[in-house]
């Protein structure tokens, strides 16, 4: 029991930090109020999360480019001369004034150049095109964030194929076997709870088998109905099995999922609520006392059979799945089996003796203790929101701080839907509030009050729990990217802050907001377990990188501290997957992560030299010259896999009342013409970097975009971006 309690304690610590990390819980229905400050308990992350900080070697403050730039001081080398000419008079004036011109920003003017379609879809193709055209290039944060996304997608695909999927099958099969054995000789109360537990598992197994596994005879009709509703995406209904509301529309399988059955099975186990509070006890609860007691008994029995001493096979598979989900996406927003065991211990009884689950007094004591504890931060349509929804799920979904903030800010929008720009405003990005105001997103009088509370609940810059999941670390990258050097309180557009003399131009700040939101979209896209294709069986053979032609000036965006956070996050993923997933260093996933780690470290070293006004070494120059080809190699998964492409879409918020979905999406790669300061010489050089456009989609829930349909819509005959569809 000692070991089991140790794991439970660890999970309890993780769950307390649910307001700070994780991802995956769809936002649906009335958003909850922001958590009170007393809930923001912070803890020092244990070695479970494998975070180690990385620091860039920067001395002092990087020297900014003085704007406006005099035309005679801007060096235009080789292909940059043609880019300068194609900008036209208006574009050249913008570049001198703002230090940056995006292709999409040249309204009414000729495009910078018509890129081949492939160069609009892939980062490697874009930079190889720049090299072919002999245009000096900048490796942007957009490009580096995309590289991390590709590496994480490939790594997660492998660990899901080798660990998560098989463990899920073992867990469900072993749990069903144990529950059937427990059913023999059980009394009435325990028998009903065991039947409910068996029903939950039978639905999961039926989904995983995709119809090839028949349910137990005594559960056949109710299990068949649950599976039918899940596969039909039937929307909000009361489950005949659980007697509690469930939104069956949230089981839509991404088209890219290599294991559709496993995706639905895990989603079901992360959704099916065992509610511990009754309608007569907590306002808003949706089940009666009898159902609540039945759910509590079921939760106690499931927690009991998941302990190491009771059934090592179930414990091993459950704990490895739970650790993987918590490590990558964050701790559960709902009570987990380990916490049920902790509640029992706090009440001076253990779960080993099933008589405690039969005793109504003991069951009610546990329910009432749970009702006084923490409540879920987000509502996904299963059970009830807030304290009325306190309950246990076998693999609860997650409530990261960005989702909690967006849910709260949705209440301050006239449409009751959050916007992606809310994230940038919440972080405190310069220009973000003005952008939101221009889009009409902060019109309600209560927006500032809600925003202030959301900012107060935001995890601090130095909070250890900020890195208690890989998703949390990715969010930290975006926050570091967007946060101003000197944070200021939220301001209204009517009282803007006067920018410092050396601050980037408003156009540059707006480009930064769009780029960071694109990187955030990658993180949201990666946050759904078992949504990826299976990894290719024949990995692409490594090729020697050859850089042809004379040396070409190349740069890295001057943000070494952001790149350092990316390096640390990749290291966190590598260490965690090696420990939790058991991936060897020679696996395709680990090799890909190591490759991206090296690309990031090269970029961080070059960016740091630029910040320190140090000339690049021959080694730096050679490493920079190889990056375009390395991006291209990264995007090519092998002989039987699909190449990685920049445009993608990720679900952000589901509004049950209007049956609409808000999604965040990345657009095509756009050329960003910039003024780069050459390390060592200090001369100003015209260069082109990759900028990833950001889009927001508002669609009917039944017509939500997939990656494939979204890409087809935005990709025109010439690879030019098309406007996203208007809201329905």
Question: pLDDT digits over 199-256, tens only?
Answer: 999 999 999 999 899 999 999 999 999 999 999 988 889 999 999 999 898 888 888 8
Locate 648 and state its tokens.
């993608």
Which residues touch 433 (CB under 8 Å, ≥6 apart)?
Answer: 425, 442, 490, 491, 492, 493
Predicted confidence (pLDDT) at residue 39 exceeds the cutoff of 50: no
Cβ–Cβ < 8 Å for 606, 564: no
Locate 446 and state its tokens.
């209560």
User: In this predicted structure, what is the pLDDT of residue 471?
Assistant: 95
The verdict on residue 64 lying in a domain is no
User: In this predicted structure, what is the pLDDT of residue 406?
Assistant: 92
Average pLDDT, the chain: 85
What is the rounded CA–CA span in Å between residue 186 and residue 195?
Answer: 11
> Token pair 């991206």 is at which residue?
596
What is the rounded CA–CA span in Å between residue 44 and residue 23?
Answer: 20
Locate 702 and state its tokens.
């039944």
User: In this predicted structure, what is the pLDDT of residue 44?
Assistant: 47
What is the rounded CA–CA span in Å between residue 154 and residue 336?
Answer: 29
**What is the length of the chain?**
728
User: In this predicted structure, what is the pLDDT of residue 716?
Assistant: 58
CA distances from 53 to 19, 439, 457, 568 (A): 22, 37, 23, 6
Which residues touch 209 (CB under 8 Å, ≥6 apart)?
Answer: 261
> Token pair 């029992």 is at which residue?
344
- Of residues 506 and 498, the one with the higher pLDDT is 506
Which SS3 state, helix, strand or coil, does residue 402 take? helix
- Of residues 514, 549, 531, 515, the one with CA closest to residue 628: 549
Mean pLDDT of 694-719: 80
- Of residues 115, 96, 95, 114, the one with CA closest to residue 105: 95
Cβ–Cβ < 8 Å for 402, 289: no
How would residue 638 be classed by pLDDT, with cut points 50, 70 and 90? Answer: low
User: In this predicted structure, what is the pLDDT of residue 722?
Assistant: 41
Cβ–Cβ < 8 Å for 299, 391: yes
Mean pLDDT of 172-182: 95
In the chain, count of helices (H) and strands (E)? 24, 11
User: In this predicted structure, what is the pLDDT of residue 171?
Assistant: 96
Mean pLDDT of 358-369: 96
To the nearest whole percent, how much of the chain has pLDDT over 70? 84
How would residue 643 be classed by pLDDT, with cut points 50, 70 and 90? Answer: confident
Mean pLDDT of 524-542: 76
Burial class (CB in 10 A: 0-12, 13-18, 19+), 456: exposed
User: In this predicted structure, what is the pLDDT of residue 502?
Assistant: 62
User: In this predicted structure, what is the pLDDT of residue 120?
Assistant: 81
Question: Tens digits of per-residue pLDDT, 259-300?
Answer: 999 999 999 999 999 999 999 999 999 999 999 999 999 999
The verdict on residue 43 lying in a domain is no
User: In this predicted structure, what is the pLDDT of residue 534?
Assistant: 85
- Of residues 38 and 50, the one with the higher pLDDT is 50
Predicted confidence (pLDDT) at residue 422 exceeds the cutoff of 50: yes
The verdict on residue 40 lying in a domain is no
CA dihedral 664, 670, 675, 680 (to 10 degrees): 90
First-to-last alpha carbon distance for the chain, in angstroms, is 55
Q: How many domains does the chain have?
A: 1
User: In this predicted structure, what is the pLDDT of residue 720?
Assistant: 45
- Of residues 219 and 352, the one with the higher pLDDT is 219
- Of residues 257 and 244, the one with the higher pLDDT is 244
DSSP classification of residue 152: H
What is the rounded CA–CA span in Å between residue 334 and residue 299?
Answer: 12
- Of residues 352, 274, 348, the one with CA closest to residue 306: 352
Cβ–Cβ < 8 Å for 223, 203: yes
What is the rounded CA–CA span in Å between residue 71 and residue 85?
Answer: 13
Predicted confidence (pLDDT) at residue 395 exceeds the cutoff of 50: yes
Predicted confidence (pLDDT) at residue 30 exceeds the cutoff of 60: no
- Of residues 695 and 106, the one with the higher pLDDT is 695
The verdict on residue 599 lying in a domain is no
The verdict on residue 674 lying in a domain is no
User: In this predicted structure, what is the pLDDT of residue 61?
Assistant: 73
The verdict on residue 632 lying in a domain is no
Domain enclosing residue 357, as ranges: 2-31+163-398
Predicted confidence (pLDDT) at residue 697 exceeds the cutoff of 60: yes
The verdict on residue 411 lying in a domain is no
User: In this predicted structure, what is the pLDDT of residue 492?
Assistant: 47
What is the rounded CA–CA span in Å between residue 552 and residue 616?
Answer: 13
Question: Tens digits of per-residue pLDDT, 71-96?
Answer: 999 999 999 999 999 898 999 999 99
Locate 575 and state its tokens.
């260490």
The verdict on residue 181 lying in a domain is yes
DSSP classification of residue 718: T
- Range 148-183 burial, b when 16+ CB lie within 10 A, else e: bbbbbbbbbbbbbbbbbbebbbbbbbbbbebbeebb
pTM over 0.85: yes
Predicted confidence (pLDDT) at residue 59 exceeds the cutoff of 90: no
CA distances from 685 to 554, 617, 638 (A): 10, 18, 37
Predicted confidence (pLDDT) at residue 54 exceeds the cutoff of 90: yes
């Amino acid at each position: 029991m000692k070991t089991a309690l140790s794991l439970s304690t660890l999970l309890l610590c993780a769950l307390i930090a649910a307001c700070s990390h994780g991802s995956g819980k769809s936002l649906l229905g009335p958003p909850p109020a922001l958590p009170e400050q007393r809930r923001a308990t912070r803890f020092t992350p244990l070695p479970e999360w494998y975070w180690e900080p990385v620091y860039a070697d920067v001395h002092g403050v990087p020297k900014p480019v003085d704007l406006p730039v005099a035309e005679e001081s801007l060096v235009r080398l080789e292909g940059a001369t043609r880019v300068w000419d194609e900008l036209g008079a208006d574009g050249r004036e913008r570049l001198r004034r703002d230090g940056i011109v995006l292709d999409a920003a040249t309204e009414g003017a000729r495009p910078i150049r018509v890129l081949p379609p492939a160069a609009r879809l892939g980062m490697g193709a874009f930079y190889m095109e720049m090299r072919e055209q002999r245009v000096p290039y900048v490796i942007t944060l957009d490009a580096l964030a995309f590289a991390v996304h590709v590496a994480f997608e490939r790594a997660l695909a492998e660990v899901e194929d080798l660990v998560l999927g098989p463990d899920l099958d073992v867990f469900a099969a072993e749990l069903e076997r144990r529950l059937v054995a427990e059913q023999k000789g059980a009394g009435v109360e325990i028998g009903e709870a065991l039947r409910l537990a068996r029903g939950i598992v039978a639905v999961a197994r039926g989904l995983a088998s995709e119809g090839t596994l028949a349910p137990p005879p005594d559960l056949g009709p109710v299990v068949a109905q649950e599976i039918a509703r899940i596969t039909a995406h039937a929307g909000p209904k009361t489950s005949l099995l659980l007697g509690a509301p469930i939104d069956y529309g949230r089981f839509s399988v991404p088209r890219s999922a290599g294991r559709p059955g496993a995706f639905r099975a895990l989603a079901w186990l992360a959704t099916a609520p065992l509610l511990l509070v009754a309608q007569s006890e907590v306002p808003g609860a949706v089940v009666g006392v009898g159902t609540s007691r039945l759910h509590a008994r079921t939760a106690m029995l499931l927690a009991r059979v998941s302990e190491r001493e009771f059934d090592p096979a179930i414990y091993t598979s459950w704990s490895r799945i739970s650790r993987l989900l918590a490590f990558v996406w964050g701790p559960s927003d709902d009570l987990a089996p380990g916490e049920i065991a902790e509640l029992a211990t706090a009440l001076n009884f253990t779960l080993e003796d099933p008589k405690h689950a039969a005793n109504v007094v003991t069951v009610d004591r546990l329910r009432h203790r749970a009702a006084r504890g923490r409540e879920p931060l987000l509502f996904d349509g299963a059970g009830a929101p807030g304290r009325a929804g306190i309950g246990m799920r076998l693999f609860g979904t997650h409530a990261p701080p960005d989702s909690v903030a967006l849910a709260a800010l949705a209440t301050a929008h006239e449409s009751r839907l959050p916007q992606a720009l809310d994230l940038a405003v919440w972080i405190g990005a310069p220009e973000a509030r003005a952008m939101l105001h221009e889009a009409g997103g902060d019109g309600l009088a209560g927006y500032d009050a809600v925003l202030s509370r959301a900012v107060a609940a935001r995890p601090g810059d130095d909070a250890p729990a900020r890195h208690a999941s890989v998703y949390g670390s990715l969010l930290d990258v975006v926050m570091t990217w967007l946060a101003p050097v000197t944070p200021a309180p939220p301001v209204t557009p009517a009282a803007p802050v006067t920018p410092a003399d050396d601050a980037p131009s408003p156009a540059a700040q707006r480009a930064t907001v769009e780029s960071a939101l694109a990187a955030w979209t990658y993180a949201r896209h990666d946050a759904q377990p078992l949504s990826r294709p299976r990894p290719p069986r024949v990995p692409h053979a490594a090729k020697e990188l050859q850089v042809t032609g004379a040396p070409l000036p190349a740069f890295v965006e001057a943000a070494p501290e952001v790149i350092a956070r990316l390096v640390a996050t990749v290291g966190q993923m590598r260490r965690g997957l090696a420990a939790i997933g058991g991936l060897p260093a020679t696996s395709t996933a680990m090799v890909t992560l190591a490759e991206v780690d090296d690309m990031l470290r090269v970029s961080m070293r070059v960016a740091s030299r630029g910040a320190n006004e140090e000339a690049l070494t021959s080694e730096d120059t050679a490493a920079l010259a190889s990056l375009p080809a390395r991006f291209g190699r990264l995007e090519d998964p092998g002989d039987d896999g699909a190449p990685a492409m920049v445009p993608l879409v990720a679900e952000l918020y589901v509004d049950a009342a209007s049956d609409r979905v808000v999604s965040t999406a990345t657009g095509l790669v756009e050329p960003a013409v910039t003024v780069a300061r050459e390390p060592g010489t200090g001369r100003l050089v015209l260069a082109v970097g990759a900028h990833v456009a950001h889009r927001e989609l508002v669609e009917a829930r039944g017509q939500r975009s997939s990656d494939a349909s979204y890409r087809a819509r935005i990709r025109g005959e010439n690879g030019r971006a098309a406007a996203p569809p208007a809201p329905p």
